[in-house]
Amino acid sequence: MQFTRRDTLALGLGAAALAGMPSAVLASVEDEIADFTGGAEIADGGVTLDAPEIAENGNTVPISVSAPGAVAIRIVATGNPSPKVATINFGPLAASPSAALRIRLAKTQDILAIARMADGSFRRAAATVKVTIGGCGG
Amino acid sequence: MASGVKPRIKVPSSASAGETIIIKTLISHKMESGQRKDKDGKPIPRSIINRFTCEFNGQSVIDITMEPAISTNPYIQFEATVPEAGEFVFKWFDDDGSVYEESKTISVG
Give the closest-approach CA distance of B98 to chain A in angstroms: 20
pLDDT for residue B76:
96
Residue with more model confidence, A5 or B64? B64
Cβ atoms of residues B77 and B26 within 8 Å: no
Does residue A14 register a pLDDT over 90?
no
Cβ atoms of residues A105 and A59 within 8 Å: no
Mean of pLDDT values over B19-25 = 95
**Quick one: CA torsion of A131, A135, A138, B6, rounded to 10 degrees?**
170
- How many domains does chain A fold into? 1
Mean of pLDDT values over B28-47 = 89
Does residue A138 register a pLDDT over 50?
no
Does residue A18 register a pLDDT over 60?
no
Q: Chain A contact for B56, CB < 8 A?
A: yes
- Which chain B residues are within 8 Å of A89, Cβ to Cβ? 60, 62-65
Cβ atoms of residues A62 and B46 within 8 Å: no
CB contact under 8 A, B69 and A85: yes
Q: What is the pTM of this model?
A: 0.83
pLDDT for residue A133:
82
Q: Is residue A15 part of a domain?
A: no
Q: How far apart are CA A61 and CA B28, in angstroms?
A: 17
Which residue in A98, A29, A101 sits closest to B69, CA to CA? A101
Cβ atoms of residues B53 and B62 within 8 Å: yes
Of B37, B71, B80, the CB nearest to A59: B71
pLDDT in tens, A76-134: 999 998 899 999 999 999 999 999 999 999 999 999 999 999 999 999 999 999 998 87
Domain that holds residue A33: 27-131
For residue B81, what is the nearest residue in chain A, using CA coordinates?
A95
Q: Is residue A16 part of a domain?
A: no
Residue A28 host element (H or E): helix A5-37
Number of other CB atoms surrounding residue A125 within 10 Å: 21
pLDDT for residue A65:
95
User: The domain spanning residue A51 has which CATH number?
Assistant: 2.60.40.2470
Q: How far apart are CA B28 and CA B26, in angstroms?
A: 7
Share of chain A above pLDDT 70, in %: 79
Which domains, from first to last, does chain B contain?
6-108 (2.60.40.10)
pLDDT for residue B19:
92
If you count them, how many residues does chain A have?
A: 138
Mean of pLDDT values over B100-109 = 92
Residue B30 is which amino acid?
K
